[in-house]
Structure 1
Amino acid sequence: MKVSEILKSKGPHVYSIGEDRIVRVAIDMMHRNHIGSLVILNISGELTGIITERDILELCVKYPDNFQSLIIKNVMSKQTIIAEPNDDIDYIEMVMTSEFIRHVPVVENHKLVGLVSIGDVVKAQSKIIQYENKYLRDYINGVRG
């Protein structure tokens, strides 16, 4: 299964925030939308990074008195690992697991086209396993179709 198939089922909407905003705005957006990350875009709309719940928790510890007023550009994860629509989900799962990340922006022709979470990957893999199990059960039971 490809990343593009996950995006088809979940839709292309990605929550994003400008890199010039403050962390408090990011916290509010994440809380309001029940999401674990925001993609960071520059003034031209280009992907420049990502900020996650884990990043914000780390800021709480490092800067307990003023973390909410920090500028996102200065605290975001800049070396963002990205996926492409044609990437295989097994590969993306391996990268996410080895790099300890839960959210990967999906880029095509230098344009942000979606975001895949570890939950999306697990859900997709579960569907594949269920389909394969059904196919094998049908085969064993002599059901042809």
Structure 2
Amino acid sequence: MHICQILKTKSPNLISVTPDQTMEEVLRLFRANNIGFVVVSRSPGECLGTVSERDCCYAVAEYGTGAPTMRVADIMNRNVATCSTEDLLPYVMAIMTNWRTRHVLVMDGGAPAGVVSIGDVVKHRLEEALRNEQALHDYIAGTAYH
């Protein structure tokens, strides 16, 4: 399955924050949108970095109670795991494994096109497994042929 097919099943809105916003604002955005990852940009189509729940946890561990008021620019991840819209799902799974990340930023040309999360991977692999199981059941039962 190509990543562009997964993006078609998701909301087309790519949520982003600016480098000048605070970690507290990011966390409120996470909660309001039930997400755990945002792109950091100053303008549409730009990616300066990303912020994940993990980045926020690391900031609290390192800076303590001052972390929530820190600017996104000071806690964001500038080394971002990316893939293309034309990459296949197993390739993105390998990226997640090698980078030890739960989110991969999908790029279309030089611009962010969406995000694939570990939840998306599990959902699509589960659907694939269920389809395969049903096909095997139909084959064994002799109902696969009409």
Shift of 1:101: 0.4
Corresponding residue for residue 35 of structure 2: 35
Shift of 1:137: 1.3
Q: How many residues align structurally?
A: 145
User: After TM superposition, what 4+ stretches of structure 1 lie above 2 angstroms from structure 2?
Assistant: 42-45
1:65 is displaced (CA, Å) by 2.9
TM-score, normalised by the number of residues in structure 2: 0.92
Residue range with higher mean Cα deviation, 107-116 or 44-53: 44-53
Partner of 1:110: 110
Does the aligned pair in 1 maintain the 2:81–2:99 contact within 8 Å? no
Tell me what 1:63 maps to: 63
For CA contacts below 8 A with separation 6 or more, give which structure has more relative contact order. Answer: 1
Provide the C-alpha distance between the structure 1 equivalents of 2:75 and 2:121, rounded to a whole number of angstroms: 27
Q: TM-score, normalised by structure 1?
A: 0.93
> Are residues 5 and 44 of structure 1, via their aligned partners in 2, closer, same or farther at CA, if it must alter by over 3 Å?
closer
Structure 1: which 5+ runs fail to align?
none
1:91-118 per-position Cα deviation (integer Å, ceiling 9, x unaligned): 1112102221011111101111111100
* SS at structure 2 position matched to 1:83: strand
In 1, the alpha carbon distance for the partners of 2:45 and 2:63 equals 29
Name the CA distance, whole Å, in 2 between partners of 1:52 and 1:121. 17
